[in-house]
Amino acid sequence: MSKKGIATAVDAVTKKDWYKLDLSAIVYPTLQRRDFSSVYRLSLLLKEDIDPEVLQKAIDMTMPRFPTYKAAMRKGLFWRFLEPNHRPGPFVQPDVKNPCQPMSFKANNRYLIRFYYYYNRISFEAHHSLGDGTGGMCVLLTVTATYLRLLGKDIENGGMVLDIREQPDPEELEDAYMKYANAKVKPPRPGEKTYRVRGTKEPFYTLNIIDGIMSTSEVMKVAKSYNATITEYLNAVLIYALAKRQEEGFHMRLKPVKIAMPVNLRRFFPAKTLRNFITMIYPGIDPRLGEYTFEEIVKHVHNYMQYYVNEKFLRGDITTNAATTRNTFIRVVPLFIKDFVVRQFYTKVQDRNSSAGLTNMGALPVPESMRPYIERVDICMGQPFSSRTNCAIISFGDIMTINFASSIIEADVERHFFRKLVKDGIHVKIESNREIED
């Protein structure tokens, strides 16, 4: 596409649209604190340093194509909603040492997204109320494609690179949960308190990042040796690391070790939404039943995935979630009461249902014409709600990045995790924004 063609890109939304928060997004604003926001980060490392002026132009041209991201949060009597944000911005800025800092709904010209640059890296941060990692990656890849075109590169549209000259597809903007929450049964929400890592809390706004960079093919080979997928294997490694940490620490009694893992529902339902469309599953082990070998953990995770990760169970799961918002009484309860109830439930029940978080976005799909300009891709789940660690995985070509984000000083879980990978024959390069002892 020529520069002239890009310059004539149409604004996607000109009318006064507004969007009710999707089923997942309802929760995130209620958890907002002065020192916490549900923010994630996606980064692309290109093979040349970034020109911030050209990047800003690419952002200005691209963001109208994504009306649910070029939006501001508003509070109504019963629900929050997103409205179009026509204020100046968002503005690209030099990167910061501590990513995923809390986002105020009223700061930054009310934008709930940020763009950063650092040498050859473009980073995109978004509040989870706007959408999940899949939607966010569409934004980042489309902005990057526009940036490369402005530099004279011939980049095609396709996959997660959208055409900025087109109007948004209505399906991109829908709450897909409500569309597919139509199972005839609503599975219950079983759960009990799990093992929680205790550590020394870092100062305000401090997020510790540890990245492990490795070969995707090496990880795949090792996973196959355990008769597991990459996701199953890495889940098992994290459960193993948490179990080791529990064994080493002081405890009155052992507790279950479980991982909170989001499943991308677009794999099972034909949705095009760029908003949230994930649900959580909780693979894990119960050390009270006895000592588990690593092979047993892998087998346990594999069997759990086979049982829970399928269209029928997932449809029932989102139907259970949707039932609450469809309740007539709950719909007319004032927002401040909803906030209080949701916050109490999440703090006392939901957050205690897992020992750590893990998400695997898999291999990054980009147009072939764009691949030569990308060196690597990174992902960060952001600050955990409580004192634990979050793990995020993504790969591009034969480079896999495993990111840990934590707000505590101790890195015992991360150390056990990467040592297990190395023991299994995987070569790991470690990068971090802090000093790490071997």
pLDDT at 3: 44
| pLDDT mean across residues, the chain | 91
pLDDT at 11: 40
pLDDT at 197: 87
pLDDT at 36: 86
pLDDT at 147: 98
438 pLDDT more than 70: no
pLDDT at 14: 41
Question: pLDDT confidence of 5, banded at 50, 70, 90?
Answer: very low
Size (the chain), residues: 438
* Whether the bond into 99 is cis, omega within 30 of 0: no
428 pLDDT more than 80: yes
Helix, strand, coil percentages (3-state) for the chain, rounded to 5, are 35, 25, 40
Question: pLDDT confidence of 193, banded at 50, 70, 90?
Answer: confident
158 pLDDT more than 90: yes
Summarised one tens digit per residue, pLDDT across range 20-53 is 999 999 999 999 888 889 999 999 999 999 999 9
Cα separation of 174 and 179, whole Å? 9
245 pLDDT more than 90: yes
Q: Which residues lie closer than 8 Å to 263 by C-beta, 6 or more apart?
A: 278, 279, 280, 281, 309, 314
Summarised one tens digit per residue, pLDDT across range 296-313 is 999 999 999 999 999 999
Distance of CA 134 to the CA centre of its chain: 8
Tell me if 381 sits within 8 A of 391, measured CB to CB. Answer: yes
Summarised one tens digit per residue, pLDDT across range 54-90 is 999 999 999 999 999 999 999 988 889 999 999 999 9
User: Of the segments 193-197, 311-315, 331-335, 424-428, which one has the largest average pLDDT value?
Assistant: 424-428
Tell me the three state secondary structure of residue 398.
Answer: coil
Summarised one tens digit per residue, pLDDT across range 115-137 is 999 999 999 999 999 999 999 99
Beta-sheet pairing, 356-363 with 389-396 = parallel
The answer to pTM > 0.85 is: yes
> Which of 152, 214, 161 has its CA nearest to residue 371?
161
DSSP H or E run through 209? strand 208-215
Summarised one tens digit per residue, pLDDT across range 338-378 is 888 888 888 877 788 899 999 999 999 999 999 999 999 99
pLDDT at 437: 57
Summarised one tens digit per residue, pLDDT across range 213-244 is 999 999 999 999 999 999 999 999 999 999 99
- For residue 80 the two structure tokens come to 């929050």
Domains of the chain as residue ranges with CATH: 3-8+15-180 (3.30.559.10), 208-432 (3.30.559.30)
